[in-house]
Structure 1
Amino acid sequence: MNVKVPTIKKQVFDLIIRDGLVSKAALMARLTITSTSLSRLLEELLTDGLILASELGRSTGGRKPILYRVNPDHRAVFGLEISRFTSSIGLYDLNLKPLAFERWKMDERMTPETLVGKITQIAERMMSDFHIDRNKVIGIGIGAVGPLSREDGVMLKPRYFPARGWIDVPICDWLEQRLGMPALLDNGANTAIIGEHWALRNEEVEHMLYVHAGVGLRTSMMSGGQIVRGAVDMEGSFGQMIIQTDGPRLGDEGNYGALEALVSIPALEKKIRSQLKLGRSSTLMGIPPEEVQFDALRKAYLQKDAFITEQFLQTATYLGIGIANLINILHPEAVILGGPLVNVDKTIYETVIQVARSNIYYSPQYEPKFSQGQLTEDAVTAGAAIMLLQDWELN
């Protein structure tokens, strides 16, 4: 894959977006460029309407410096999450402030064609509500469940979608045709880490790990501020980490004893259904075991059902072990945990990080900072918009 090298003009623009309010001197300190060239580029960005000369900064002895900021109303960008549990779309200004946001549940009726129709309808309404012309929208960034081909803009064969038809879906082509704007696809785990890295930009975090635990296990790693990519799509590989050699297999594919067979919504549902059939006591006993779904499990946990609590905490323990394995290999500065399983309750999250911490090899000398992120469940959508904005080429 060819990596785009941003022009100096784009670098200046990106730094202004990142800092929010910045002087020419501060830009000069971070760019290998002459003062004359930077003045010319700033003048071009002002003429183009991309930035504003906002106000005067504090004087250090001479004239007060001019401070530059992005013109938030000059353009807009869409971010989209396509997931198996819920999907969402957001419209953002150039400061990446959300103007509008909508989330909906994915069900057996949400085929790819139906979803694209829904996305088109919502996007058109958002542009109309905020009086944004289509030619003012940079495009739509998409964070989706893998496996996928980022280069071709195709979702290949994601598992566990409730609806049929999710095989070889050319999602970028479809949305470009329906919306009349560019579309860019990446794994949802990657766009989530882009979003969280942006939210933490003032902390200068260079090495970050993101883990999403839900219908599947999805991970992304950033090193030196850049996403680590492999020769093939790596999003689901964490779930295939073997942690129990004689363990179960989830469905009819994947490794035996893989983490995903012990830590995922389908694995949790399967295990609890089996135990209920054996007569385990639970507040769920009024529901036929085969009809027990995650929403009911979450409610039972919050109602302090002893059996369900035991199963959730065991799942959290396995997840903590898997995360410790990743930490011992990758040594990130920050670890962000997300997804429906982790977000059920604070006790689940705390159990995961407690187990992970107790299995870090270099602890206590080295220990990453754990969190549930700044953007939480909106990270994929916001990160998809940021990804597209970072990829945008200025004329």
Structure 2
Amino acid sequence: MNAMLESFHQPKSAKINKLKTLYRAIQKNGPIKAETLMLQTNTTHATCARLLDELQKNNLVSVKSSTVSTGGRKPNLYQITPDAAYLIGIEVTALYSTISLLDLHLSIKQQAKIKTAHFTSIYDTLDFIITETKKLVTTANLSFTSIIGTGLSIDDYFDSFDHKKNDLTTEIKTLEAYIEAQLPSKVTIGSGVNFAALAEYRLNYGASSRRFLFSTSDMELRSCTLTHGGTPLSSNGMSFTFGHTIIDSQGPVCSCGAKGCLRTFSSLPAIKAAIIQRVNAGETSQLSEVVSSIEEIDFFDILSASENGDTLCKNVLEEAAYYYGIALSNQILVYQPDTVVCGGTLIPKSSFFEVVQRTIAERLAPFSGISTNVYPAKDSYDIVSQGAGGIVLEKLLRS
């Protein structure tokens, strides 16, 4: 690994802290002028110049001329060198998993998507992931000495974890140690929604947002927040609690025991259950022609039918989107973010996002003092693995 990046792992010293602070400011806001860096990091001109020179000599930072001139010489802009080292980001799910080799801009340099549905234990899954990760690094003609670390998301495992009987923090440390014993890399395990939020923010909204809310709609409904570009605020194993926001106190009974939780209206399993119930009650759907029994439908069938104009599927999805929008509105009223990004399987499908966006706008209309922009996720398929790698760099620079 780059010698200076390696020194960032070492015990704190005043000089290392100053270098990390300056590097992180460039990573977060670059390309950036030296004058702006001085203000953001509270350093003098001489100190900032000396630190920038050291970062440049160690190939961590490069400089380019601004394309904008205010008269006279164009100012230099500083940016991190993306290939000074690499990151590995992994998203593990019960069906498919993604392993991404990333540069320091979180751009994907090499990637593997693999089936993991046939594994019955987390350790069997991890063994396979470890083998495939080693292959990916070799294929890229790299060694693990150039890798800062590995981030790994295992939300499906978190969701099934018995928090009453076991301590999740201890379990995470056990799993990290298990991987590190076979993979020559520092490992960080965390929640996929946290990782996705970090990557969306870093790649698309870091320059404009100070209060950022990210949410996903899939098998579970998750959310987390970032303030001033900090670490995502959602406890590992608890990101699914957004789905337990009560929308209708007289609604269906949820698995948690409460009535009317968001997940009973807007999760993929709830959408499937609603369609089966309505077809059995006599409503017509293209789905009846796809399967011999309506109970056999899967989520792909539902989303395909909706895209093909199936009225029942479209109506159920739009109803799910409405309740999802109500739940997000409640979060906006409390947290008052300037930016909300919606990700997950459902957001790109049919009119789901449009209904969510319209519902939020209608709910917030009486509150003119709240200014919140709502967007669909830009990189929904790889964003978790990108964020998993991103959290590794985040930890290094914040340690």
Residue 44 of structure 1 aligns to a residue whose secondary structure is helix
Q: Does 1:222 align with 2:232?
A: no
Contact 1:9 1:394 in 2 (8 A): no
Distance in 2 separating the partners of 1:394 and 1:323: 30
Contact 2:92 2:154 in 1 (8 A): yes
Q: How does 1:318-329 map to 2 (within 5 A)?
A: 318-329=323-334
Q: Does 1:211 align with 2:221?
A: no
Q: How far did 1:198 drift?
A: 0.8
Aligned to 1:267: 270
Q: How far did 1:179 drift?
A: 1.4
Residue 356 of structure 1 aligns to a residue whose secondary structure is helix
Structure 2 unaligned runs (5+)? Answer: 1-10, 164-169
Aligned to 1:163: none
Q: Does 1:37 align with 2:41?
A: no
Q: How does 1:197-346 map to 2 (within 5 A)?
A: 197-201=201-205, 203-227=207-231, 229=233, 234-250=238-254, 252-286=255-289, 287=291, 288-345=293-350
Aligned to 1:385: 389
Distance in 2 separating the partners of 1:232 and 1:131: 34
Aligned to 2:107: 97
Q: Does 1:137 align with 2:140?
A: no
Contact 2:252 2:259 in 1 (8 A): yes
Q: CA RMSD in A?
A: 3.1
Q: How does 1:25-174 map to 2 (within 5 A)?
A: 25-52=35-62, 54-56=63-65, 67-84=77-94, 86-104=96-114, 106-109=116-119, 111-145=121-155, 148=158, 156-157=161-162, 170-174=174-178
Distance in 2 separating the partners of 1:85 and 1:76: 27
Residue 124 of structure 1 aligns to a residue whose secondary structure is helix
Distance in 1 separating the partners of 2:140 and 2:221: 37
Contact 2:93 2:156 in 1 (8 A): no
Q: How far did 1:242 drift?
A: 1.3
Distance in 2 separating the partners of 1:231 and 1:383: 16
Distance in 2 separating the partners of 1:295 and 1:40: 57
Distance in 2 separating the partners of 1:393 and 1:17: 10
User: Normalising to structure 2: TM-score of the pair?
Assistant: 0.83
Q: Between 361-370 and 226-235, report the one with greater CA deviation.
A: 226-235
Q: Between 201-210 and 167-176, report the one with greater CA deviation.
A: 167-176
Residues 95 and 225 of structure 1, relative CA distance in 2, 3 Å threshold:
closer
Cα deviation, 1:193-225, whole Å, max 9, x if unaligned, reads 111111234533011111101000101112333
Amino acid of the structure 2 residue aligned with 1:314 = E
Q: Between 261-270 and 62-71, report the one with greater CA deviation.
A: 62-71
Contact 1:146 1:187 in 2 (8 A): no
User: Normalising to structure 1: TM-score of the pair?
Assistant: 0.84
Residues 320 and 40 of structure 1, relative CA distance in 2, 3 Å threshold:
same
Amino acid of the structure 2 residue aligned with 1:100 = Q
Q: How does 1:359-374 map to 2 (within 5 A)?
A: 359-360=363-364, 362-374=366-378
Distance in 1 separating the partners of 2:34 and 2:98: 38
Aligned to 2:24: 14
Distance in 2 separating the partners of 1:243 and 1:143: 28
Residue 376 of structure 1 aligns to a residue whose secondary structure is coil
Q: Does 1:355 align with 2:359?
A: yes
Q: Between 261-270 and 357-366, report the one with greater CA deviation.
A: 357-366
Residue 102 of structure 2 aligns to a residue whose secondary structure is strand
Q: How far did 1:311 drift?
A: 1.2
Distance in 2 separating the partners of 1:60 and 1:274: 66
Q: Between 220-229 and 381-390, report the one with greater CA deviation.
A: 220-229
Residue 195 of structure 2 aligns to a residue whose secondary structure is helix
Structure 1 unaligned runs (5+)? Answer: 149-153, 159-166
Cα deviation, 1:298-335, whole Å, max 9, x if unaligned, reads 11111111121121111111111111111121111111
Residue 132 of structure 1 aligns to a residue whose secondary structure is coil
Q: How many pairs were matched up?
A: 376
Residues 110 and 39 of structure 1, relative CA distance in 2, 3 Å threshold:
farther
Q: How far did 1:364 drift?
A: 4.3
Distance in 1 separating the partners of 2:288 and 2:370: 46
Aligned to 2:188: 184
Residue 83 of structure 2 aligns to a residue whose secondary structure is coil
Aligned to 1:162: none
Contact 1:193 1:220 in 2 (8 A): yes
Residues 23 and 110 of structure 1, relative CA distance in 2, 3 Å threshold:
farther
Cα deviation, 1:120-150, whole Å, max 9, x if unaligned, reads 23322221122211111001112331785xx
Aligned residues: percent identity? 23
Contact 2:212 2:227 in 1 (8 A): yes
Structure with more of its chain in helix, by fraction: 2
Contact 2:224 2:234 in 1 (8 A): no
Contact 2:112 2:136 in 1 (8 A): no
Residue 282 of structure 1 aligns to a residue whose secondary structure is coil
Residue 303 of structure 2 aligns to a residue whose secondary structure is helix
Residue 378 of structure 2 aligns to a residue whose secondary structure is coil
Q: How far did 1:276 drift?
A: 2.9
Cα deviation, 1:265-321, whole Å, max 9, x if unaligned, reads 111112222333334321111412222110111111111111211211111111111
Residues 76 and 350 of structure 1, relative CA distance in 2, 3 Å threshold:
same
